[in-house]
Amino acid sequence: MTKPAGSAARRTLGEAPLLRAAAGKSSDRVPVWFMRQAGRSLPEYRRLRADSSMMSACFDPAMVCEITMQPVRRHGVDAAILFSDIVVPLHAAGIDLDIVPGTGPVVANPVRDVDDVRALPALAADAVRPVADAIGLLLAELGDTPLIGFAGAPFTLASYLIEGGPSRHHERTKSLMHSDPDTWHALLGSLAGITRTFLDAQVAAGVDAVQLFDSWAGALSERDYRELVLPHSAAVLAGIGVPSIHFGVGTGELLGAMRAAGPDVVGVDWRVPLDEAVRRLAAERPDGPAPVVQGNLDPALLLADLPVLEREVRRIITEGRAAGGHIFNLGHGVLPNTDPDVITRVVELVHSVQP
């Protein structure tokens, strides 16, 4: 894949707890960050975004920088994650879509057959230059806090393109993948190229790690995932150049297959205890290094009484000790009605517990 000119010099943050954990190394504390830590739970975010659409915000380098920094300043998390959206590279490539408040991504002309797949554009790195510019601004602000870039995995992007928007059952997606596998693989190959170009642009700009979100992969059986999805996610992650995290929702039965895609870290949602997740991941590569996991507090528990929350945080840290490394996170994203002060208290608690 072509990388943009003027790539940033790689920061040396090897001692950062998050990067040590991703490499299966010990640290003086369990690192912690939260999916959707930059977003609607923060009043400063809501004020900043009051007059901006999601897509315009994602292409405004100064706004991306400020939104990404907000939870780092407020919570003291061990990583920032780039403020963006999984459909940003599709929009940048020229696909007609929008992020509709209350709905999510909506595609004007859904992909339904081989001609639609052939018509899909490629992504040029220059088309996401504002994202790279935002990363440059962030590197000047973050000090020794790692920056995580991210992208949507090919299957999840395909589901949006085929269904035309969010879907509960993914019926058109599953129909295409089984009835016309040649077209399906052509579509996912195209999307893998777009995703990899987007991630390469972020890596070239200086992110310290990346996370690949396969939000809807939990709708698949393990057999279908391994045959029809895994090769394309593996193509995205291969040789990416920085530590990689792979995460999906409802993917407890797919954890081993997701590890087979080649990430350094596998994110685990709240449905599977971390020690059990480690067992499943280790079974995929019995002769490999001990698995590294990320997760997996139920986001709803951030609204529970503090004694309950503290008990669950300590339980998860204990279960995470079964892994080669553990990055504390939620099992999905921060809910919009979460009290930001509770998030800060969780960070303090995680940092206080002996790893």
DSSP-assigned letters across all residues of 222-257 = HHHHHHHTHHHHHHHHTT-SS-EEEEESS-GGGHHH
Question: Phi and psi at residue 107, in whole multiples of 5°?
Answer: -100, 130
State whether residue 291 is helix, strand or coil: coil
Q: Catalytic residue, from 20, 29, 40, 74: name it.
A: 40
| 85 among known catalytic residues | yes
Q: Is 293 left (phi over 0), alpha (psi -120 to 50) or beta?
A: beta
- The amino acid that residue 123 corresponds to is L
Which residues, in sequence order, are bridge partners of residue 293?
266, 326
| 47 among known catalytic residues | no
- The amino acid that residue 216 corresponds to is W
* CA dist list (Å): 27 to 15, 31, 311: 8, 9, 22
Q: Catalytic residue, from 11, 20, 29, 36: name it.
A: 36
Q: Catalytic residue, from 49, 196, 259, 280: name it.
A: 49
Q: Catalytic residue, from 45, 160, 225, 259: name it.
A: 160
| 196 among known catalytic residues | no
Q: Do residues 119 and 183 touch, judged by C-beta distance below 8 A?
A: no
How many C-alpha atoms does 168 have within 13 Å on its Cβ side?
0
Q: Catalytic residue, from 85, 200, 208, 269: name it.
A: 85
Q: Is 290 left (phi over 0), alpha (psi -120 to 50) or beta?
A: beta
| 45 among known catalytic residues | no
| 160 among known catalytic residues | yes
d(CA 191, CA 233): 10
User: Which are the catalytic amino acids?
Assistant: 36, 40, 49, 85, 160
